[in-house]
Amino acid sequence: MANSSALFESNDESDPEVVMCEALEKVREHLSMDISYMAELIGDTVHFRRASDPKGLGLIDVTASRPMSELYCGYMLDGRLPRMMPDVSQIPLARDLPITKEMGVQSHVSVPMFRNNGEFYGTFCCFSQTPNPSLNERDYNIATMFANFAGKTLNKSMEATNEHQRISDRITQIIAHQSFAIYWQPIVDLKSNKMVGAEALSRFESQIYQAPDIWFADAKKVGLQRELEIAAIRAALLELPLLPSNIYVSLNASPDTIISGQLVEVLKDAPTKRIIIEITEHDAIDDHVKLLKTMAELRRLNVRFAVDDLGAGYSGLSTVLRLRPDIMKLDRALVAGIHADPARQSLASAMVHFAAEIGATLIAEGVEHPEERDTLRKIGVRLVQGFLFARPAPLGQIWLPDQLQAVG
């Protein structure tokens, strides 16, 4: 028999499927059985989920299902069959079931598995085509340990699957019903104290409150990031004609959404000279070649690009050099308290020079205090946005150019 101390070790504990399959194999070895498997009961039907069959007997098809009445598990649950049968031929009910002859079962072990809420999930079973008189209570306890372990792993996996589905359903409903509003935050020219642009931001309508970035992060988790971003961009474009014609708009899109090519279709009839795509992502860009190719296609439509969060996330200088954005946005982390921090001032000055060298415009994000604004102006940062000037608001509530005169 295999060493029982190694039963629940795994090479990849992060993957529940690998954990369960490896443990299934180890328990089969420990019990010296031909086949082990896990099955789920749905209604009156048993669905085979996982199996260990090193001899290749092919008796358990993990894509198949069978009526519970044909198998041992129903009789085991109601107490008419024991959960451990070292010699099936000694138990008349089991011996006479058609499944016994069909699969050649001569010894059998079955342990129930339960969901977290206490509901019966299914069974863990082992069987052999020869009697196994050595099976004893200790062996059954080992099988029970596995069933409990597998049940915990399985429940975690099911919870993750259920949570994935809940998030997916929520995001799908948000997109289908356009359950979000577009808020705008002005981008201000410190030289003229006038609004020159506005960033479009999404605010979600839901019983579940989450910050906007969490909604988009959730959408990414379930493979709906692209769909949610496109929906938000379409909604912002509908409001674009209501903004003064001299105001440009900044629309957020992840590299994946840009690479998809969908923006080319979405923007083909838009006033693209007024549109900036703000590349937002805090992970590394997987495919610079495809991204640059799609950016070139959009640039032919007169779309400009901004790199978000310079100084945070993926936006290192090497990435900026590859993308050659039209606009670079200094992250709030570098702007906060800049008036009292010579190091931040030095870095911001370097960014002003760097932007000029590559032909880009620098925007400082997250300006909240007059001292930060004044320091940025002295350093040479001309464009800013932040709560000092305006919080994101619906279109009818954002400042128009002549309203910004009081900010100076």
Same domain, 197 and 304: yes
- The single-letter DSSP state of residue 399 is P
Asked whether residue 207 is domain-assigned, the answer is: yes
Instruction: For the chain, 408 residues long, give each residue's pLDDT as a single digit of tens.
Output: 444 444 445 444 557 788 788 878 888 999 999 999 999 999 999 999 999 999 999 999 999 999 999 999 889 988 999 999 999 999 999 999 999 999 999 999 999 988 888 888 999 999 999 999 999 999 999 889 888 888 888 888 888 888 999 999 999 999 999 999 999 999 999 999 899 999 999 999 877 778 899 999 999 999 999 999 999 999 999 999 999 999 999 999 999 999 999 999 999 999 999 999 999 866 567 788 999 999 999 999 999 999 987 755 445 677 788 889 999 999 898 999 999 999 999 999 999 999 999 999 999 999 999 999 999 999 999 999 999 999 999 988 876 545 544 444
Asked whether residue 38 is domain-assigned, the answer is: yes
End-to-end CA distance of the chain: 82
- Output the pLDDT for position 5: 45
What's the alpha-carbon Rg for the chain, to the nearest Å?
31
Same domain, 111 and 191: no
Asked whether residue 173 is domain-assigned, the answer is: no
Same domain, 184 and 155: no
Parallel, antiparallel or unpaired: strands 361-364 and 327-330: parallel
Asked whether residue 169 is domain-assigned, the answer is: no
Query: How many residues are present in the chain?
Result: 408
Number of domains present in the structure of the chain: 2
Measured in whole angstroms, the distance separating CA 299 from the mean position of its chain's CA atoms is 30
Same domain, 147 and 188: no
What CATH number corresponds to the domain at position 297? 3.20.20.450
Same domain, 221 and 297: yes
Looking at 161, 195, 224, which one is the last position of a domain?
A: 161
Cβ-based neighbours of 354, under 8 Å, separated by 6 or more: 317, 328
Domain residues for 38?
4-161
Same domain, 189 and 150: no
Q: Distances in Å between the alpha carbon of 166 and those of 141, 218, 287, 299?
A: 37, 10, 30, 38
What CATH number corresponds to the domain at position 125? 3.30.450.40
Parallel, antiparallel or unpaired: strands 275-279 and 107-114: unpaired
Asked whether residue 150 is domain-assigned, the answer is: yes
Cβ-based neighbours of 11, under 8 Å, separated by 6 or more: 18, 22
Asked whether residue 168 is domain-assigned, the answer is: no
Let me know the angle formed at the C-alpha of 119 by 98 and 14, rounded to the nearest 5 degrees: 95
Query: Could you give the CA distance from residue 259 to residue 226 in angstroms, rounded to a whole number?
Result: 10
Q: String of b and e for 344-377 (b: at least 16 CB within 10 Å)?
A: bbebbeebbebbeeeebbbbbbbbebeebbebbe
Tell me if 268 sits within 8 A of 297, measured CB to CB. Answer: no
Query: Could you give the CA distance from residue 260 to residue 228 in angstroms, rounded to a whole number?
Result: 13
Q: Which residues partner with 277 through β-bridges? A: 251, 305
- Output the pLDDT for position 3: 47
Same domain, 353 and 215: yes
Parallel, antiparallel or unpaired: strands 180-189 and 120-128: unpaired
Which tokens go with 88?
Answer: 């099936």
- Please list the alpha-helical segments (H only) found in 268-401: 288-299, 317-323, 332-335, 342-358, 370-379
Looking at 133, 161, 189, which one is the last position of a domain?
A: 161
Same domain, 190 and 122: no
Asked whether residue 172 is domain-assigned, the answer is: no
Query: Torsions phi, psi of 14, nearest 5?
Result: -80, -15
Looking at 114, 134, 161, which one is the last position of a domain?
A: 161
Residue that has been written with the tokens 């991204």 in this structure? 291
Same domain, 154 and 185: no
Same domain, 197 and 142: no
Residue among 280, 127, 255, 134 nearest 200 (CA): 280
Cβ-based neighbours of 187, under 8 Å, separated by 6 or more: 195, 196, 197, 198, 199, 250, 363, 383, 384, 385
Same domain, 231 and 141: no
Query: Could you give the CA distance from residue 233 to residue 126 in angstroms, rounded to a whole number?
Result: 55
Same domain, 355 and 223: yes
- Per residue, the 3-state secondary structure of 63-103, as one string, reads CCEEEHHHCHHHHHHCCCCCCEECCHHHCHHHHHCHHHHHH
Task: Read off the pTM.
Answer: 0.76
